[in-house]
């Protein structure tokens, strides 16, 4: 019987455990497969560090946030890794194929390893919903739900104090979480990386809301760049992985809004709360279906592909279709939301 290794890699995301459970339950029930989990993403793969995943290990975990396997941002081509090392560990452990659950970076690495002859299928993961070739990624719905709830709460305290409230949500490169949580909560302005606006425009939206007796509510994605600035928070430097340090645009905007409008303004950064805790039912179902479909990919030998959502159906697409470009918020979706600003 076939033995499959599963890994979760990159930033975590509600629904990861539901993918693992879907894959393990289907694999055992339908194909009599065996499963192991690699610990902490590619680190476990390059070090051959695994845990057994019997049926009992996935009991009741669909509703559990995080990942029971742990995750890391390890690159499998660095850290003494590479295809030969990984193959040797797979042979030693009797692992025939790998299911890699991850985002852009994980799938790009999986693609290179597949080119080197490894048997890998992918499951797309990102709370940002910015992966191409899939209509939705699990975790996004949960993040939007958490952000919307938090923004609703900011609104009531903002109204009591006649303040402008700014909520900063996740979204390093794209504004899907900001767009959806902003629309859901009735924000007076939504600011996303795909669409530059000026400080004057933001101040105009804020004043319009105040003039109608509302407590202005601004939702901003962490990667938002003001018109006239070339990079978000470039002065904040790089994190340990060489990525620009984000978080804090809301705090930059608050004094500017106060200065231009005279309205007392408070900033709240939601941060990792958006990635924690219980996944929504939508995300559990999507994640479970993707996990089960990954088993079909393995059985059919579709190496170098990932499972994805097309409309309401699960599809199989080549890694190359998903990689290289982000799924950004299209202009018409922003314009649609902006009709209600101010
Ligand atoms: O890609 C998902 C994401 O949550 C982004 O929205 C955010 O910029 C980044 O991960 C945060 O990464 P970390 O968990 O490493 O701080």
* Residue with CA at minimum distance from ligand 1 atom 14: 11
Q: How confident is the model at residue 105 (pLDDT cuts 50, 70, 90)?
A: very high
Which pLDDT belongs to residue 233?
Answer: 54
pLDDT tens readout for residues 252-271: 999 999 999 999 999 999 99
Proportion of the chain above pLDDT 90, given as a percent: 92
Pocket test for ligand 1, best of 14, 102, 106, 128 (most atoms within 8 A of CB): 128
pLDDT tens readout for residues 158-214: 999 999 999 999 999 999 999 999 999 999 999 999 999 999 999 999 999 999 999
pLDDT tens readout for residues 264-294: 999 999 999 999 999 999 999 999 999 999 9
Strand order in the sheet with 34-38: 50-52, 34-38, 3-8, 97-102, 120-124, 305-310, 313-318
**Whole-prediction pTM:** 0.95
Q: Is the pLDDT of residue 302 over 90?
A: yes
* β partners of residue 124: 102
Q: What does each C-alpha distance from 106 to 9, 21, 24, 211 come to in angstroms?
A: 6, 20, 21, 48
Q: How far apart are CA 274 and CA 146, in angstroms?
A: 6
Q: How far apart are CA 259 and CA 206, in angstroms?
A: 12
Which pLDDT belongs to residue 94?
Answer: 98
Half-sphere exposure of 154 (CA within 13 A, CB side): 28
Nearest in space to 299 (alpha carbons), one of 26, 105, 10, 66: 26
* Residue with CA at minimum distance from ligand 1 atom 15: 11
Q: What is the ipTM of this complex?
A: 0.94
Q: What is the mean pLDDT of residues 137-161?
A: 98
Which pLDDT belongs to residue 238?
Answer: 77
Neighbours of 86 (CB within 10 A): 24
User: Which residue among the candidates 12, 49, 96, 128 is catalytic per the annotation?
Assistant: 128
Q: Is the pLDDT of residue 236 over 70?
A: no
Catalytic annotation present for 128: yes
Q: Is the pLDDT of residue 298 over 60?
A: yes
C-alpha of residue 125 to centroid of ligand 1, in Å: 12
Q: Is the pLDDT of residue 153 over 90?
A: yes
């Amino acid at each position: 019987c076939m033995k499959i290794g599963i890994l979760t890699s990159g930033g975590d995301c509600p629904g990861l455990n539901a993918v693992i459970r879907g894959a393990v339950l289907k694999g055992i029930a339908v194909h009599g497969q065996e499963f192991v989990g690699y610990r902490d993403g590619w680190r476990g793969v390059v070090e051959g560090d695994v845990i057994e995943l019997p049926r009992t290990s996935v009991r009741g975990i669909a509703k559990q946030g995080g990942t029971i396997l742990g995750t890391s941002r390890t690159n499998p081509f660095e850290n003494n890794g590479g295809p030969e090392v990984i193959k040797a560990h797979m042979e030693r452990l009797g692992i025939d194929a790998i299911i890699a659950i991850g985002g852009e970076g994980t799938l790009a690495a999986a693609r290179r390893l597949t080119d080197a002859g490894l048997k890998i299928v992918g499951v797309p993961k990102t709370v940002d919903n910015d992966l191409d070739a899939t209509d939705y990624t699990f975790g996004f719905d949960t993040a939007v739900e958490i952000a919307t709830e938090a923004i609703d709460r900011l609104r009531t305290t903002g109204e009591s104090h006649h303040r402008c409230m700014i909520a900063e949500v996740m979204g390093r490169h794209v504004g899907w979480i900001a767009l959806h949580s902003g629309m859901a909560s009735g924000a007076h302005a939504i600011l996303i990386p795909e669409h530059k606006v000026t400080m004057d425009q933001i101040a105009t939206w804020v004043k319009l809301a105040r003039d109608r007796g509302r407590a202005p509510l601004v939702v901003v994605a962490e990667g938002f760049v003001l018109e006239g600035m070339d990079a978000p928070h470039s002065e904040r430097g790089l994190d340990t992985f060489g990525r620009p340090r984000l978080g804090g645009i809301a705090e930059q905007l608050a004094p500017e809004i106060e200065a231009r409008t005279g309205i007392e303004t408070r900033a709240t950064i939601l941060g990792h709360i958006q990635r924690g805790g219980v996944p929504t039912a939508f995300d559990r179902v999507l994640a479970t279906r993707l996990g089960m479909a990954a088993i079909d990919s393995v059985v059919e030998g579709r190496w170098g592909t990932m499972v994805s959502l097309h409309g309401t159906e699960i599809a199989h697409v080549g890694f190359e279709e998903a990689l290289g470009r982000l799924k950004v918020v299209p202009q018409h979706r922003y314009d649609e939301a902006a009709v209600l600003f101010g």
